[in-house]
Amino acid sequence: MRTQNMNRDWTATAHTLSEALPYLQRYSGAVVVVKFGGNAMGDDDAMAEFARDIVLMKQVGMNPVVCHGGGPMINEMLAKLGIESTFVRGKRVTTKETVEVVEMVLSGLVNKRIVQAINDAGGRAVGISGKDDDLMVCEADDPELGFVGRPVEMNVQIIRDLYKAGLIPVIAPVATGMADNETFNVNGDTAAGAIAGALRADRLLLLTDVPGVKDKTGEVLTQIHPDQVRDMIADGTIAGGMIPKTETALMALQDGVRAVVILDGRVPHASLLELFTEHGAGSLIRSTPPSTRPHGLRQGGALL
Protein backbone atom coordinates (compact mmCIF):
# COMPACT_ATOMS: atom_id res chain seq x y z
CA MET A 1 0.00 0.00 0.00
CA ARG A 2 2.78 2.41 0.88
CA THR A 3 4.48 1.75 -2.47
CA GLN A 4 1.20 2.38 -4.29
CA ASN A 5 0.75 5.70 -2.46
CA MET A 6 4.29 6.73 -3.31
CA ASN A 7 3.74 5.84 -6.96
CA ARG A 8 0.57 7.96 -7.02
CA ASP A 9 2.50 10.88 -5.49
CA TRP A 10 5.28 10.63 -8.08
CA THR A 11 2.74 10.27 -10.88
CA ALA A 12 0.94 13.41 -9.68
CA THR A 13 4.26 15.26 -9.61
CA ALA A 14 5.10 14.15 -13.15
CA HIS A 15 1.62 15.14 -14.32
CA THR A 16 2.04 18.61 -12.80
CA LEU A 17 5.38 19.08 -14.53
CA SER A 18 3.88 17.99 -17.83
CA GLU A 19 0.97 20.44 -17.49
CA ALA A 20 3.44 23.25 -16.72
CA LEU A 21 5.35 22.73 -20.00
CA PRO A 22 3.37 25.24 -22.13
CA TYR A 23 3.84 27.95 -19.50
CA LEU A 24 7.54 27.18 -19.14
CA GLN A 25 7.89 27.58 -22.90
CA ARG A 26 5.97 30.86 -22.97
CA TYR A 27 8.09 32.36 -20.22
CA SER A 28 11.47 31.40 -21.67
CA GLY A 29 13.54 34.59 -21.67
CA ALA A 30 10.83 36.62 -19.90
CA VAL A 31 11.77 39.28 -17.37
CA VAL A 32 9.80 38.89 -14.14
CA VAL A 33 10.24 41.41 -11.31
CA VAL A 34 9.22 40.02 -7.92
CA LYS A 35 8.60 42.29 -4.94
CA PHE A 36 9.36 40.26 -1.81
CA GLY A 37 8.16 41.50 1.57
CA GLY A 38 5.72 40.96 4.37
CA ASN A 39 5.76 38.27 7.01
CA ALA A 40 7.55 35.76 4.78
CA MET A 41 10.78 37.74 5.14
CA GLY A 42 10.99 36.94 8.83
CA ASP A 43 10.39 33.21 8.50
CA ASP A 44 13.37 31.00 7.62
CA ASP A 45 11.26 28.28 5.99
CA ALA A 46 9.28 30.79 3.92
CA MET A 47 12.51 32.51 2.88
CA ALA A 48 14.03 29.21 1.76
CA GLU A 49 10.89 28.32 -0.19
CA PHE A 50 10.86 31.72 -1.90
CA ALA A 51 14.53 31.30 -2.80
CA ARG A 52 13.93 27.88 -4.37
CA ASP A 53 11.10 29.33 -6.46
CA ILE A 54 13.34 32.12 -7.74
CA VAL A 55 16.11 29.65 -8.59
CA LEU A 56 13.60 27.49 -10.47
CA MET A 57 12.50 30.49 -12.52
CA LYS A 58 16.11 31.12 -13.52
CA GLN A 59 16.75 27.44 -14.19
CA VAL A 60 13.89 27.19 -16.71
CA GLY A 61 15.11 30.19 -18.70
CA MET A 62 13.37 33.16 -17.09
CA ASN A 63 15.10 36.32 -15.85
CA PRO A 64 13.84 36.92 -12.30
CA VAL A 65 14.66 40.23 -10.62
CA VAL A 66 14.00 40.49 -6.89
CA CYS A 67 13.20 43.79 -5.17
CA HIS A 68 12.56 43.67 -1.45
CA GLY A 69 11.26 45.69 1.46
CA GLY A 70 12.15 45.38 5.12
CA GLY A 71 9.91 47.61 7.23
CA PRO A 72 9.70 45.31 10.28
CA MET A 73 13.48 44.90 10.36
CA ILE A 74 13.95 48.67 10.15
CA ASN A 75 11.51 49.18 13.03
CA GLU A 76 13.37 46.62 15.11
CA MET A 77 16.75 48.23 14.50
CA LEU A 78 15.47 51.76 15.23
CA ALA A 79 14.05 50.50 18.51
CA LYS A 80 17.36 48.86 19.44
CA LEU A 81 19.20 52.11 18.74
CA GLY A 82 16.67 54.16 20.66
CA ILE A 83 15.72 56.26 17.64
CA GLU A 84 12.12 57.45 17.89
CA SER A 85 10.00 57.87 14.79
CA THR A 86 7.50 60.59 14.07
CA PHE A 87 4.68 60.25 11.57
CA VAL A 88 2.81 62.57 9.19
CA ARG A 89 -0.54 61.31 7.94
CA GLY A 90 0.44 57.81 9.01
CA LYS A 91 3.77 57.83 7.15
CA ARG A 92 7.15 57.74 8.88
CA VAL A 93 9.30 60.85 8.67
CA THR A 94 12.73 59.71 7.52
CA THR A 95 15.42 61.94 9.01
CA LYS A 96 19.10 61.95 8.12
CA GLU A 97 19.75 59.70 11.12
CA THR A 98 16.91 57.37 10.21
CA VAL A 99 17.90 56.98 6.56
CA GLU A 100 21.36 55.82 7.62
CA VAL A 101 19.74 53.02 9.61
CA VAL A 102 17.42 52.23 6.70
CA GLU A 103 20.36 51.85 4.33
CA MET A 104 22.26 49.69 6.81
CA VAL A 105 19.30 47.34 7.30
CA LEU A 106 18.05 47.14 3.71
CA SER A 107 21.36 47.07 1.82
CA GLY A 108 23.08 45.01 4.49
CA LEU A 109 21.08 42.69 6.72
CA VAL A 110 17.97 42.11 4.61
CA ASN A 111 19.55 42.14 1.15
CA LYS A 112 22.36 39.76 2.04
CA ARG A 113 19.98 37.38 3.79
CA ILE A 114 17.94 37.02 0.61
CA VAL A 115 21.09 36.66 -1.50
CA GLN A 116 22.37 33.93 0.80
CA ALA A 117 19.05 32.07 0.67
CA ILE A 118 19.07 32.07 -3.14
CA ASN A 119 22.69 30.95 -3.25
CA ASP A 120 21.95 28.19 -0.72
CA ALA A 121 19.17 27.00 -3.05
CA GLY A 122 21.65 26.61 -5.90
CA GLY A 123 21.25 29.99 -7.56
CA ARG A 124 23.76 32.75 -8.22
CA ALA A 125 22.43 35.94 -6.67
CA VAL A 126 24.08 39.35 -6.41
CA GLY A 127 22.81 42.02 -4.02
CA ILE A 128 22.76 45.67 -5.07
CA SER A 129 20.81 48.77 -4.12
CA GLY A 130 19.25 51.56 -6.13
CA LYS A 131 22.42 53.56 -5.53
CA ASP A 132 24.64 51.18 -7.50
CA ASP A 133 25.48 52.57 -10.94
CA ASP A 134 22.78 55.22 -10.26
CA LEU A 135 20.16 52.55 -10.86
CA MET A 136 17.46 54.62 -9.18
CA VAL A 137 17.70 58.40 -8.83
CA CYS A 138 15.08 60.09 -6.67
CA GLU A 139 13.72 63.35 -5.47
CA ALA A 140 11.83 63.95 -2.23
CA ASP A 141 8.33 62.49 -2.47
CA ASP A 142 7.01 64.85 0.21
CA PRO A 143 9.21 67.45 1.96
CA GLU A 144 7.37 66.76 5.22
CA LEU A 145 8.53 63.14 5.12
CA GLY A 146 12.22 63.94 4.80
CA PHE A 147 14.36 61.43 2.94
CA VAL A 148 11.55 59.40 1.39
CA GLY A 149 12.18 59.24 -2.33
CA ARG A 150 10.18 59.10 -5.55
CA PRO A 151 12.09 57.65 -8.55
CA VAL A 152 12.55 60.17 -11.34
CA GLU A 153 15.39 58.56 -13.30
CA MET A 154 16.08 54.86 -13.87
CA ASN A 155 19.29 53.35 -15.24
CA VAL A 156 18.64 49.61 -15.44
CA GLN A 157 21.55 48.46 -17.62
CA ILE A 158 23.27 47.04 -14.53
CA ILE A 159 20.27 44.74 -14.00
CA ARG A 160 20.34 43.58 -17.61
CA ASP A 161 24.08 42.94 -17.37
CA LEU A 162 23.56 40.80 -14.29
CA TYR A 163 20.79 38.57 -15.58
CA LYS A 164 22.45 38.19 -18.98
CA ALA A 165 25.51 36.92 -17.08
CA GLY A 166 23.35 34.25 -15.45
CA LEU A 167 23.00 36.09 -12.15
CA ILE A 168 19.89 36.92 -10.15
CA PRO A 169 19.75 40.61 -9.10
CA VAL A 170 18.45 41.28 -5.59
CA ILE A 171 17.74 44.99 -5.14
CA ALA A 172 17.39 47.01 -1.95
CA PRO A 173 15.07 50.05 -2.32
CA VAL A 174 17.63 52.68 -1.34
CA ALA A 175 18.35 55.38 -3.92
CA THR A 176 20.54 58.31 -4.80
CA GLY A 177 19.15 61.85 -4.70
CA MET A 178 19.14 64.29 -7.60
CA ALA A 179 21.38 66.72 -5.73
CA ASP A 180 24.20 66.55 -3.17
CA ASN A 181 24.34 62.74 -3.34
CA GLU A 182 21.62 62.35 -0.73
CA THR A 183 20.33 58.89 0.19
CA PHE A 184 16.61 58.21 -0.06
CA ASN A 185 14.44 55.43 1.30
CA VAL A 186 11.97 54.24 -1.35
CA ASN A 187 8.82 52.25 -0.71
CA GLY A 188 9.49 48.66 -1.82
CA ASP A 189 6.42 48.42 -4.04
CA THR A 190 7.22 51.77 -5.63
CA ALA A 191 10.80 50.70 -6.32
CA ALA A 192 9.71 47.37 -7.80
CA GLY A 193 7.20 49.11 -10.05
CA ALA A 194 9.77 51.62 -11.28
CA ILE A 195 12.30 48.86 -11.96
CA ALA A 196 9.73 46.72 -13.79
CA GLY A 197 8.63 49.69 -15.88
CA ALA A 198 12.18 50.61 -16.86
CA LEU A 199 12.87 46.99 -17.84
CA ARG A 200 9.54 46.71 -19.73
CA ALA A 201 9.08 43.53 -17.73
CA ASP A 202 6.71 40.78 -18.79
CA ARG A 203 5.40 40.45 -15.24
CA LEU A 204 5.53 42.36 -11.97
CA LEU A 205 4.57 40.16 -9.03
CA LEU A 206 3.75 42.06 -5.83
CA LEU A 207 3.87 39.53 -3.00
CA THR A 208 1.89 40.75 -0.02
CA ASP A 209 -0.01 39.48 3.03
CA VAL A 210 -3.48 39.46 1.45
CA PRO A 211 -4.98 37.18 -1.26
CA GLY A 212 -5.40 39.98 -3.77
CA VAL A 213 -7.75 42.83 -4.70
CA LYS A 214 -11.25 42.28 -3.33
CA ASP A 215 -14.61 43.52 -4.56
CA LYS A 216 -17.32 45.02 -2.34
CA THR A 217 -18.44 41.55 -1.23
CA GLY A 218 -14.95 40.60 -0.13
CA GLU A 219 -14.33 38.19 -3.00
CA VAL A 220 -10.90 38.27 -4.64
CA LEU A 221 -10.98 39.52 -8.23
CA THR A 222 -8.76 37.32 -10.37
CA GLN A 223 -8.38 39.78 -13.24
CA ILE A 224 -8.96 43.52 -13.41
CA HIS A 225 -8.70 46.23 -16.04
CA PRO A 226 -6.99 49.51 -15.02
CA ASP A 227 -10.26 51.42 -15.47
CA GLN A 228 -11.87 49.11 -12.92
CA VAL A 229 -9.02 49.76 -10.50
CA ARG A 230 -9.50 53.53 -10.79
CA ASP A 231 -13.25 53.19 -10.24
CA MET A 232 -12.70 50.98 -7.19
CA ILE A 233 -10.28 53.47 -5.67
CA ALA A 234 -12.72 56.31 -6.32
CA ASP A 235 -15.68 54.54 -4.69
CA GLY A 236 -13.66 53.26 -1.73
CA THR A 237 -13.73 49.56 -2.62
CA ILE A 238 -9.94 49.66 -2.80
CA ALA A 239 -8.75 51.34 0.39
CA GLY A 240 -5.92 51.49 2.91
CA GLY A 241 -2.68 49.73 2.04
CA MET A 242 -4.11 48.33 -1.20
CA ILE A 243 -4.26 51.83 -2.73
CA PRO A 244 -0.47 52.29 -3.13
CA LYS A 245 -0.11 48.74 -4.43
CA THR A 246 -2.74 49.19 -7.13
CA GLU A 247 -1.39 52.64 -7.97
CA THR A 248 2.04 51.06 -8.40
CA ALA A 249 0.43 48.51 -10.72
CA LEU A 250 -1.20 51.22 -12.83
CA MET A 251 2.05 53.16 -13.12
CA ALA A 252 3.98 50.02 -14.10
CA LEU A 253 1.46 49.21 -16.83
CA GLN A 254 1.69 52.77 -18.09
CA ASP A 255 5.48 52.39 -18.27
CA GLY A 256 5.27 49.24 -20.39
CA VAL A 257 4.94 46.27 -18.03
CA ARG A 258 2.72 43.67 -19.70
CA ALA A 259 0.83 42.64 -16.56
CA VAL A 260 0.95 43.05 -12.78
CA VAL A 261 -0.21 40.49 -10.23
CA ILE A 262 -0.97 41.21 -6.57
CA LEU A 263 -0.82 37.89 -4.76
CA ASP A 264 -0.51 36.35 -1.33
CA GLY A 265 3.13 35.64 -0.55
CA ARG A 266 2.09 33.47 2.40
CA VAL A 267 0.72 30.83 0.02
CA PRO A 268 3.36 28.16 -0.68
CA HIS A 269 4.94 28.65 -4.11
CA ALA A 270 2.58 31.54 -4.91
CA SER A 271 4.80 32.84 -7.73
CA LEU A 272 4.99 29.43 -9.39
CA LEU A 273 1.22 28.98 -9.13
CA GLU A 274 0.75 32.30 -10.90
CA LEU A 275 3.27 31.70 -13.65
CA PHE A 276 3.03 28.00 -14.38
CA THR A 277 -0.60 26.94 -13.78
CA GLU A 278 -3.80 27.56 -15.69
CA HIS A 279 -5.71 29.19 -12.83
CA GLY A 280 -2.95 31.56 -11.70
CA ALA A 281 -2.97 33.17 -8.26
CA GLY A 282 -4.05 36.52 -6.86
CA SER A 283 -5.34 39.48 -8.89
CA LEU A 284 -3.96 40.05 -12.37
CA ILE A 285 -4.11 43.64 -13.64
CA ARG A 286 -3.47 44.31 -17.31
CA SER A 287 -4.56 46.76 -19.97
CA THR A 288 -6.14 44.26 -22.34
CA PRO A 289 -9.83 43.51 -21.66
CA PRO A 290 -10.61 40.75 -19.13
CA SER A 291 -11.45 37.35 -20.59
CA THR A 292 -14.98 36.01 -20.71
CA ARG A 293 -14.17 33.15 -18.34
CA PRO A 294 -16.46 32.71 -15.32
CA HIS A 295 -15.68 34.80 -12.24
CA GLY A 296 -12.83 33.27 -10.30
CA LEU A 297 -11.23 31.58 -13.32
CA ARG A 298 -8.53 32.80 -15.63
CA GLN A 299 -5.46 31.56 -17.38
CA GLY A 300 -2.40 32.42 -15.36
CA GLY A 301 0.91 31.80 -17.07
CA ALA A 302 -0.66 31.69 -20.52
CA LEU A 303 -1.32 35.42 -20.42
CA LEU A 304 2.20 36.51 -21.28
202-304: CATH number: 3.40.1160.10
pLDDT band at 3, cuts 50/70/90?
low
- Over the stretch 190-206, which tens digit does the pLDDT of each residue have? 999 999 999 999 999 99
**pLDDT reading at 297 higher than 60:** no
Domain boundaries, the chain: 62-198, 202-304
Average pLDDT for residues 118-138, to the nearest whole number? 97
**pLDDT reading at 294 higher than 50:** no
pLDDT band at 292, cuts 50/70/90?
very low
**pLDDT reading at 4 higher than 90:** no
The answer to which of 5-14, 17-26, 67-76, 129-138 has the lowest mean pLDDT is 5-14
pLDDT band at 231, cuts 50/70/90?
very high
Average pLDDT for residues 23-49, to the nearest whole number? 83
- Over the stretch 250-277, which tens digit does the pLDDT of each residue have? 999 999 999 999 998 888 888 988 888 8
| CATH, domain 62-198, list 3.40.1160.10, 3.30.470.20, 3.40.50.300, 3.40.50.150 | 3.40.1160.10
SS (H, E, C) 167-224: CEEEEECEEEECCCCCEEECCHHHHHHHHHHHHCCCEEEEEECCCCCECCCCCECCEE
**pLDDT reading at 207 higher than 70:** yes
The share of the chain scoring above pLDDT 70, in percent, equals 85
pTM assigned to the model:
0.88
Same fold, 62-198 and 202-304: yes
91-92 vs 136-140, strand pairing mode = unpaired
Rounded to a whole number of angstroms, the CA Rg of the chain reads 19
The share of the chain scoring above pLDDT 90, in percent, equals 62
Tell whether the torsion through CA atoms of 279, 194, 92 and 38 is positive or negative.
Answer: positive
In this predicted model, which residue has the larger pLDDT, 287 or 201? 201
Helix axes 242-254, 226-234, angle to 10 degrees: 150
pLDDT band at 138, cuts 50/70/90?
very high
* Average pLDDT along the chain: 87
In this predicted model, which residue has the larger pLDDT, 234 or 292? 234
Greatest mean pLDDT among 7-11, 91-95, 214-218 = 214-218
